[in-house]
Structure 1
Amino acid sequence: MNREIFNEDNIQLGLVSESKGDAILRAGELLRKNGYVRSEYLEGMTKREESLTTYVGNGVAIPHGLPEYIQYIQKSGLVMLQYPEGIDFGEGNIAYVLIGIAGKDDEHLELLSTIALVCQEEDNVTKLKQAASKQEILEILSGGDA
């Protein structure tokens, strides 16, 4: 995966459990801080979650903005937050890994499919949950070519 889209600055490990809303805003804030989105995009991430959960299974959630908020994406980016104790996404769904995405143009579909391929393997999700270093995360999400 392209280093401009995903690098060590985009990873936070060992976070203390917080509410779903706060976790989504944390992911959005990291996207904003690292120059991928304008602050308006965070509202789109929150609204997306209100209309349809971004929990995708296997302990993973992929928060992202509604389509009308794509205009606030400055460049494609991906952030990953690791919550060892998990975040309650409702209906018994606990996410240990949040992957916030902002895809410019059609890149969000590419990013989603890359993440989906990695996260459909339970072994990969377990490794993401337990990773002790950012380098490990980069290797898992890059399919070993970090």
Structure 2
Amino acid sequence: MSTNILKKENIELNKSLATKEEAIRYVGGILNEQGYVDEAYIEEMLKREEITSTFMGNFVAIPHGTEDAKKAVNETGISVVTVPEGVDFGDGNIVKLLIGIAGKGNEHLEILSQIAIVCSEEENVEKLIAAETKEEVLQTFSEVE
């Protein structure tokens, strides 16, 4: 995964987030602060969540915007936030690893597939949730080619 898409500034470890909305706003906020998206994108991430949950199983959620959100994306990027205590995404789905995605054009599809590969391995997810340094997170994602 290219270093512009996921860099240290996009990673936050051991956060405590009370609600699904707070969690989505947090990962979207990182994308916004780092210049990947305009603030409007965060609202589209919340809309997307209302349409269909971004919970993927295995303690992972991948919040991202709706199709309409594309105009709010400046460049492709992802944010990674670990919530070891978990945040309830509804229906008993607990999320401990949040991966926010903003994709220019269709670039998000490639990113999604790379994330899916990483997160399909339970031990990778455990490693990411337990990570104590941002380097460990970068390392886990960089092993996927």
Give the TM-score of the pair, scaled to structure 2.
Answer: 0.97
Distance 2:143 2:92 in 1: 29
Partner of 2:19: 19
User: Aligned partner of 1:114: which letter?
Assistant: Q
Aligned to 1:71: 71
Asked whether 1:38 is paired with 2:27, we answer no
Tell me, in whole angstroms, the C-alpha distance in 2 between the residues paired with 1:106 and 1:63. Answer: 16
Q: Runs ≥4 in structure 1, deviation > 4 angstroms?
A: none
Q: Which amino acid aligns with 2:55?
A: Y
Percent identity of the aligned residues? 46
8 Å CA contact 2:117–2:144 kept in 1: the answer is no
Find the counterpart in structure 2 of residue 8 from structure 1.
8
Separation (CA, whole Å) in 2 of partners of 1:95 and 1:43: 20
> Match of 1:115?
115
Deviation of residue 17 (structure 1)?
3.0
AA of the residue aligned to 1:112: L
Q: Deviation digits for residues 3-38 of structure 1, max 9, x if unmatched?
A: 111010000001013100011001111000000000
Which blocks of at least 5 consecutive residues in structure 1 are unaligned?
Answer: none
Cα distance in 2 between the residues matched to 1:25 and 1:111: 20
What amino acid is aligned across from residue 15 of structure 1 in structure 2? Answer: K
Map of 1:141 onto structure 2: 141
Aligned equivalent of 2:51: 51
The one-letter code matched in structure 2 to 1:35 is G
Alpha-carbon RMSD across the aligned residues, in angstroms, is: 1.0
- Give the Cα–Cα distance (whole angstroms) in 2 for the partners of residues 87 and 124 of structure 1: 19
- DSSP 3-state at the match of 1:37: coil
In the aligned structure 1, how far is the partner of 2:92 from the partner of 2:11?
26
Unpaired runs of 5+ residues, structure 2, are none
What secondary structure sits across from 2:74 in the alignment? Answer: coil
How far apart, in 1, do the equivalents of 2:71 and 2:78 lie?
A: 17
- What are the residue-to-residue correspondences of 1:61-100 with 2, within 5 Å? 61-100=61-100
**What code does the residue aligned with 2:73 have?**
I
